[in-house]
Amino acid sequence: MNRRVFIKNNSKIALGAVIVPFTDLFNSSKFNITVNQITGGEDHHFFGYIGQSLTIPWNYNGDKILCMSSPFHDHLPSTNEAAAIAIIDPNVKSGEFNKIEKLDESLGWNHQQGTMFYWNPDAAQDQFFFNDRDPKTGVVFTVCYDVNKRKRVKEYRYGHRSFGNSGVCPLGKSFLGINYARMARLRPVTGYKNTTDWTTGVNAPKDDGIIHIDIKTGKKKMLVSFEQMAAKLEKNGFQAKDRNLFINHTLWNRTGEWIYFFVRAGWKSDKDGKEALNVACSIKVDGSNFTAGHSHIGGHPEWGNGTEIIGSQNGRQVVYDTLSKEIVRTIGDEVSFPDPSGDVSLSPDSKLFVNGYSLNGKNHYTIFDLNSKEWTNTPEFNTGIYKKDLRIDPAPRWNRESNQLLVSGLDKNGIRQLFVVSIEQSKTTERLL
Q: pLDDT at residue 311 above 70?
A: yes
More confident call, 25 vs 180:
180
Of 275, 294, 313, the one marking the end of a domain is: 294
Domain membership of residue 47 (yes or no) is no
Domain membership of residue 45 (yes or no) is no
- Least confident residue range of 3-17, 93-107, 130-144, 274-288: 3-17
More confident call, 403 vs 428:
403
Quickly state the pLDDT bin for 192 (edges 50, 70, 90): confident
Residues 200 and 155 occupy one common structural domain: yes
Quickly state the pLDDT bin for 12 (edges 50, 70, 90): very low
Quickly state the pLDDT bin for 5 (edges 50, 70, 90): very low
Domain membership of residue 433 (yes or no) is no
Q: How many CB atoms lie within 10 A of CB 427?
A: 9
Domains contained in the chain, number = 2
The mean per-residue pLDDT over the stretch 179-207 comes to 90
Cα–Cα dist 420/422, whole Å = 6
Query: Nearest Cα to 196, choosing from 237, 162, 155?
Result: 162
Residues 281 and 399 occupy one common structural domain: no
Domain membership of residue 43 (yes or no) is no
**pLDDT at position 21:** 40
Phi (first) and psi of residue 268, to 5 degrees = -55, -35
Of 260, 294, 328, the one marking the end of a domain is: 294
Residue 69 is part of a domain; what is its CATH number? Answer: 2.120.10
- Domain that residue 97 falls in: 52-294
**pLDDT at position 269:** 73
H or E element, residue 186: helix 180-186
More confident call, 25 vs 62:
62
**pLDDT at position 433:** 56
Domain membership of residue 44 (yes or no) is no
Q: pLDDT at residue 39 above 70?
A: yes
Quickly state the pLDDT bin for 108 (edges 50, 70, 90): very high
Residues 274 and 399 occupy one common structural domain: no
The mean per-residue pLDDT over the stretch 370-385 comes to 94
Domain membership of residue 84 (yes or no) is yes
Residues 164 and 249 occupy one common structural domain: yes
Residues 332 and 265 occupy one common structural domain: no
**pLDDT at position 128:** 98
Cα–Cα dist 208/407, whole Å = 33
What share of the chain has pLDDT > 90, as a percent?
78
Domain membership of residue 363 (yes or no) is yes
Domain membership of residue 408 (yes or no) is yes
Residues 315 and 391 occupy one common structural domain: yes
Give tens-digit pLDDT for 286-310: 999 999 999 989 888 999 999 999 9
Residues 241 and 303 occupy one common structural domain: no
Residues 230 and 268 occupy one common structural domain: yes
Of 294, 328, 356, the one marking the end of a domain is: 294
**pLDDT at position 308:** 97
More confident call, 152 vs 188:
152
pTM of the model: 0.91
Residues 274 and 359 occupy one common structural domain: no
Residues 69 and 168 occupy one common structural domain: yes
Partners of 426 in the beta sheet?
none
- Asked whether the CA dihedral 54, 55, 57, 60 is positive or negative, the reply is positive
Residues 323 and 410 occupy one common structural domain: yes
Q: pLDDT at residue 429 above 80?
A: no
Residues 175 and 288 occupy one common structural domain: yes
Cα–Cα dist 295/297, whole Å = 6
Quickly state the pLDDT bin for 385 (edges 50, 70, 90): confident
**pLDDT at position 259:** 97
